[in-house]
A and B are shown apart, each in its own frame.
Chain A
């Protein structure tokens, strides 16, 4: 009997939540013009990345020395680079590299940092102390520098770079999750669930995780933005993605040698990074306001 009541109650909360929250969130999100603008640009960017072979008529890697050093024209919208590759094609294919890198790096930090943060927050005491002191140590080294020295230790290449970025930005995720869990653990509804005899696993899945989601979604959106910046930075100094794979930071570093004579070679990859990071940040801002009006920066 008690079991049934609990189930019905749980179902009702789920339905109630679904009915009320999502449209509310969406409504609040849509009221923020900048956030909608960011979302639209991001959708366009993702679509361009997926349909890159359809949009672009050139090969992103194939050299074509006869067409080298061309300024933007109808045939080459963004011009060509010093070995004749179409820059528009490379910028569009670069979306795939950058977004993929951003998402993978954030996943790594979320999985490692988030798990550690959750453990620290849930168990508290000594475990919490050890984990958080470790995070303090990592935070004492500026994250870009930590990433650079990790790449130096592990060697270059995409996987090592992603791991380095993920590892060095892990403390923020750890702190966010720990803080959220600490807050939720003390709430009345968790107490109530405990008093009603709910198991730990039920509390974690039904009460703690859904309530942590909002700050995590916001953190991840902005995290992808900063991971893309990191990835471009490392590639710019030659420690990230190696040529000929199209990657914006690396294209910028390539165009840097021709900045006086052919500024278009660095302008377009730079713009691509900025627009992507900017729209992700605008989306993140909007999501933060929409998901939890009380939440602050």
Chain B
């Protein structure tokens, strides 16, 4: 097992190096003069030139990439924000908890709702119940989450007054954004659970279990779901990335001070060091979650486990 984890961790290194190069290059080719953003329109050319020299903006591509990597790896430094002057790492650290909490709650929501819908449809395939829950799942996938956020806000905050519309702080603030972000993933997980369950539900061991007189619920959960779970776990892991992307919109809608909102604000404020740092941190988070999923996967599937022991 340790060997497996070590191998997966090593495999992450080249991917992360690639992400760093791509993100850096994208910000490198970005047109516009950062010194203009830092010093403002009223600054003189001399002042800007001095700052450019100071920040190393006059260096070549490889020198700057090297410096960036060096600072990132050895000092955990992503540079300073062009707009606020604060270190990017501190800004991200301050914004991370909101997004992380929301992502965890929404994954839980998506997995629970998705699996229930999927199991219900797989147990009674091609019935009205199946049709209704699969249509619901597809509606969830097709609904733009920013619109769904607005609708939820309208219902639960404006009309009913149960939950706060915007902001961050208490657990109540997390519910609506988490549901918003999780809905499309719940739909995808439901579809995956259904097709994966349908594949195992007619297997011989399921019939054997039934023939033994086992209760239907135990047949479905212990014999069916456990074997159908692997593709579902993979899908849930991949959905985590979609959630981090979706957080950009949801946090904007709910005015939540998370990473997503930070990214949008920085793009419109042309604060490129923050955009660069934010994308990197999110990519690392996503890769770590995928690593976790692979470990879970190995844990759930004896075939994978045995190939590494």
Known contacts A140-B19, A144-B246, A274-B144: does B26 contact A149 (CB below 8 Å)?
Answer: yes
Partner of A259, one of B22, B154, B276: B154
Partner of B146, one of A141, A148, A236, A277: A236
Contact, CB under 8 Å: B142 / A274: yes
Is B286 part of the contact surface with A, judged by Cβ < 8 Å? Answer: yes
Closest residue of chain A to B16 (Cβ to Cβ) is: A140
Is B94 part of the contact surface with A, judged by Cβ < 8 Å? Answer: no
CA–CA, A238 and B146, complex, Å:
13
Is B267 part of the contact surface with A, judged by Cβ < 8 Å? Answer: yes
One of B27-35, B38-46, B76-84 at the interface = B27-35
Is A120 part of the contact surface with B, judged by Cβ < 8 Å? Answer: no
The A221-260 residues at the B interface (CB cut-off 8 A) are: 225, 229, 232-233, 236-239, 249, 252-253, 256, 259-260
Partner of A142, one of B14, B199, B245, B275: B245
Is A153 part of the contact surface with B, judged by Cβ < 8 Å? Answer: yes
Number of A-B contacts (CB under 8 A): 139
Q: Note all chain B residues with C-beta closer than 8 A to A232.
A: 144
Interface string of A55-75 (1 = CB under 8 A from B): 000000000000000000000
The A67-94 residues at the B interface (CB cut-off 8 A) are: none
Within the complex, what minimum Cβ distance (angstroms) separates B264 from chain A? 5
Contact, CB under 8 Å: A281 / B138: yes
Is B66 part of the contact surface with A, judged by Cβ < 8 Å? Answer: no
Interface string of A113-153 (1 = CB under 8 A from B): 00000000000000000000110111011111110111111
Known contacts A259-B154, A277-B142, A281-B138: does B246 contact A141 (CB below 8 Å)?
Answer: no
Is B69 part of the contact surface with A, judged by Cβ < 8 Å? Answer: no
Within the complex, what minimum Cβ distance (angstroms) separates B249 from chain A? 6
Is B151 part of the contact surface with A, judged by Cβ < 8 Å? Answer: yes
Is A179 part of the contact surface with B, judged by Cβ < 8 Å? Answer: no
Is B244 part of the contact surface with A, judged by Cβ < 8 Å? Answer: yes
Is B139 part of the contact surface with A, judged by Cβ < 8 Å? Answer: yes
Q: Note all chain B residues with C-beta closer than 8 A to A270.
A: 144, 147, 150-151
Contact, CB under 8 Å: A145 / B151: no
The B130-181 residues at the A interface (CB cut-off 8 A) are: 131, 135, 138-139, 141-144, 146-147, 150-151, 153-154, 158
Within the complex, what minimum Cβ distance (angstroms) separates B61 from chain A? 14
Interface string of B5-26 (1 = CB under 8 A from A): 0000000001110110011001
Is B283 part of the contact surface with A, judged by Cβ < 8 Å? Answer: yes
Within the complex, what minimum Cβ distance (angstroms) separates B134 from chain A? 8
Is B242 part of the contact surface with A, judged by Cβ < 8 Å? Answer: yes
Main secondary structure, interface of B, reads helix
Contact, CB under 8 Å: A134 / B18: yes
Partner of A140, one of B135, B142, B246, B286: B286
Is B110 part of the contact surface with A, judged by Cβ < 8 Å? Answer: no
Closest residue of chain A to B271 (Cβ to Cβ) is: A152
Contact, CB under 8 Å: A274 / B244: no
Is A266 part of the contact surface with B, judged by Cβ < 8 Å? Answer: yes
CA–CA, A270 and B152, complex, Å:
13
CA–CA, A278 and B30, complex, Å:
36
Interface string of A151-173 (1 = CB under 8 A from B): 11101000000000000000000
Contact, CB under 8 Å: B248 / A148: yes
Is A296 part of the contact surface with B, judged by Cβ < 8 Å? Answer: yes
CA–CA, A153 and B268, complex, Å:
11
CA–CA, A142 and B243, complex, Å:
8
CA–CA, A232 and B192, complex, Å:
26
Of A34, A137, A281, the most chain B CB neighbours within 10 A belong to A137
Contact, CB under 8 Å: B195 / A141: no
Contact, CB under 8 Å: B245 / A145: yes
Further contacts, 9 of them, CB under 8 A, given A145-B282, A239-B268, A274-B143: A134-B18, A140-B16, A145-B245, A145-B279, A152-B267, A238-B268, A270-B147, A270-B150, A270-B151
On A, residues with C-beta under 8 Å from B are 34, 133-134, 136-138, 140-146, 148-153, 155, 225, 229, 232-233, 236-239, 249, 252-253, 256, 259-260, 263, 266, 269-270, 273-274, 277-278, 281-282, 285, 296-297
Q: Mind listing 10 A-B residue pairs with CB under 8 Å?
A: A134-B18, A145-B263, A148-B248, A149-B27, A152-B26, A232-B144, A236-B249, A238-B268, A259-B154, A263-B154
Closest 8 CB pairs of A and B: A144-B245, A137-B18, A142-B245, A270-B147, A278-B142, A277-B142, A153-B26, A142-B241
